[in-house]
Structure 1
Amino acid sequence: MYEDFKTLLARREGPVVRIHFNNPDAGNAVDGTFLDEMTTVLDAVADDPGVRVVVLSGAGDDFCLGGDRREFADLAGRDPGGTGIRTLGVKARRVCDALATSHAVTIARLHGGVIGAGLGIALFCDLRVGADTSRYRLPELALGLPAVWGGALPRLLSEAGTARIRELILTGDTFDAEAAAAISVLQKVVPESELDAVVTGWIKPVVRRSPAALRVTKAALNAYAAGTRMADATLLESDLLAAVVAARHAERG
């Protein structure tokens, strides 16, 4: 299903599906509605073998400023036991898994702020290009939350390296595009005016590849980069997140 949603615009242009985060007044925040709509579009992609490339981009000044803090607070207030937070975590995992396992090559076109959950979503894309003015941050710990969301932590560790990611999570420091490229969070850094040219340059060769060879190659890359499912601690993330949010709510009375 490629249409206009509340938080997204989705368009199929030949073999390319473009998903444009379209809630700029909220910094394209990740909330339950956003995750449901992303799932709808990515499910449609999964059922559409003609799609070869998926491109993610954001409206307004920022790609995505992370999770919706008001929604977190509301869910914790209405359900201190954490059921709502747990459900949100499961939705996040579903979206990230769909991006990681898509038969299509996924591209993140990044500008402005790429924060928290926004960075997590981008990391599950195969290719990532950032504007030279873009900025990145992992603020969860500074907000009193564990850095567990959608299975992004092992992806971060695999892509960028344990020592540097440990520092960025513990300090919550903002880092720029050049620093992001140095740790492989980005594959390319260009002026914002050149982002579309880079995306187009990636799309052109991909759509000429054998669909079967591309699908198998992506599956192999994912398999070699990941641990076994039995040892995959990210399966516990929604429960861990819910437990911490419930504990924080209890601490605050």
Structure 2
Amino acid sequence: MELSLPDFLTSSPYEPPATVRTRREGPVLHVELNSPETGNAVTEAMRDELLDVVGAPDPEVRVLVLSGAGDDFCLGGDRTEFADRLAEDPTGRGIRVAGEKARRVCEAISGNRAVTIARVQGKAIGAGLALALACDLRVGADTAGFRLPEPALGLPTAWGGLPPRLIHEVGAARVRELILTGRAFDAAEAHALSVLQRVVPENELDQAVQAWAKPVARRPEAALPVTKALLNSYAAATRMADPSFLDAELMAAVAATGRRTSPRTPGPDTSHS
């Protein structure tokens, strides 16, 4: 069976402008973050649309490919929306709701019946890195870049359960350095850290995705969800102290405190900071 990546022209269950577009090719579902003018910054609308797509898995879908339109995979959270939420409710209630939904999105990706593949080009920052890391397999362009800027913005690194996943994949010592310094790292280092499992020239990203998707799509239907459940349970055993259910509370509390003590309201993670 020949699989090819779609050209995402019209497929979306939402009225324009949709922030997530989908395309089904047999057992493969392509999900594209679709806000290239903002670097696919994660908004409330995007969280809702992602949750609708990945939170109700189709048993016929065996592979889910997550990608981003334009130059970047995802520049992180939308800072303007974040600041507006905090201005509307200085106690951080809106931030809390958004954070809880972010956790549900990442859990729906990681726990999806299908094998999930992140196709990363350009930058994956903060929430963008969290979305990619929630996927089973991650391939990036050799020009891709990554960063965790939240502490520099006056916020905890607490989006979508990112820290425990990152520590599990990378190791506590390296994660501590990446979060506390907020330094950028490139695709080669991401590969060495297992943030990416494969790095290719950007013009070969589609072929790399297809090389993974084709054999997975041919696997017996019953084997994939059971195998994924086993792998996830093994990983969970090494994350017994996973506090990600507190992410939303932590984000809201720190943001509200920061607003009271600073004349400037911090926003979430984007490369524009």
* TM-score bracket for this pair, using the shorter chain length: over 0.9
Distance (whole Å) between structure 2 residues aligned to residue 229 and residue 246 of structure 1: 29
Residue 15 of structure 1, aligned match among 27, 48, 51? 27
Sequence identity, in percent? 60
Distance (whole Å) between structure 1 residues aligned to residue 20 and residue 245 of structure 2: 27
- Unaligned ranges ≥5, structure 1: none
1:43 deviates by 2.7
Question: 1:179: which partner in 2?
Answer: 189
1:232 deviates by 3.1
Distance (whole Å) between structure 2 residues aligned to residue 245 and residue 230 of structure 1: 27
Question: 1:102: which partner in 2?
Answer: 112
Distance (whole Å) between structure 1 residues aligned to residue 166 and residue 87 of structure 2: 31
1:29 deviates by 0.3
Distance (whole Å) between structure 1 residues aligned to residue 13 and residue 243 of structure 2: 35
1:12 deviates by 1.1
Report the TM-score, using the length of structure 1 for normalisation: 0.96
Question: 1:224: which partner in 2?
Answer: 234
Distance (whole Å) between structure 2 residues aligned to residue 169 and residue 139 of structure 1: 7
Matched, 1:53 2:50: no
Residue 93 of structure 1, aligned match among 80, 88, 103? 103
Residue 165 of structure 2, aligned match among 155, 164, 170? 155
Question: 2:40: which partner in 1?
Answer: 28
The worse-fitting range, judged by mean Cα deviation, of 222-231 and 147-156 is 222-231
Distance (whole Å) between structure 1 residues aligned to residue 236 and residue 81 of structure 2: 31
Residue 70 of structure 1 aligns to which amino acid in structure 2?
T
1:100 deviates by 0.7
1:152 deviates by 1.1
Deviations 1:196-235 (A, max 9, x none): 0010000111011122211111011111111499843111
CA RMSD across the alignment? 1.4
Residue 226 of structure 1 aligns to which amino acid in structure 2?
A
Matched, 1:3 2:15: no
Deviations 1:41-94 (A, max 9, x none): 1134x1x11000000111111000000111111111110111000000011011
Distance (whole Å) between structure 2 residues aligned to residue 228 and residue 206 of structure 1: 26
Question: 1:241: which partner in 2?
Answer: 251
1:117 deviates by 0.2
Residue 3 of structure 1 aligns to which amino acid in structure 2?
S
Matched, 1:71 2:81: yes
Report the TM-score, using the length of structure 2 for normalisation: 0.89
CA contact (8 A) 2:64 2:114 kept: yes
Q: Secondary structure at the match of 2:104?
A: helix
Post-superposition, which runs of at least 4 consecutive aligned residues in structure 1 deviate over 6 A? Answer: none
Distance (whole Å) between structure 2 residues aligned to residue 210 and residue 162 of structure 1: 36
| Structure with more contact order per residue of length (Cα contacts < 8 Å, sep ≥ 6) | 2
Q: Secondary structure at the match of 2:218?
A: coil
Distance (whole Å) between structure 1 residues aligned to residue 43 and residue 247 of structure 2: 17
Q: Secondary structure at the match of 1:226?
A: helix
Question: 1:40: which partner in 2?
Answer: 52
Residue 140 of structure 1, aligned match among 142, 150, 169? 150
CA contact (8 A) 2:124 2:145 kept: yes
Residue 83 of structure 2 aligns to which amino acid in structure 1?
A
CA contact (8 A) 2:62 2:224 kept: no
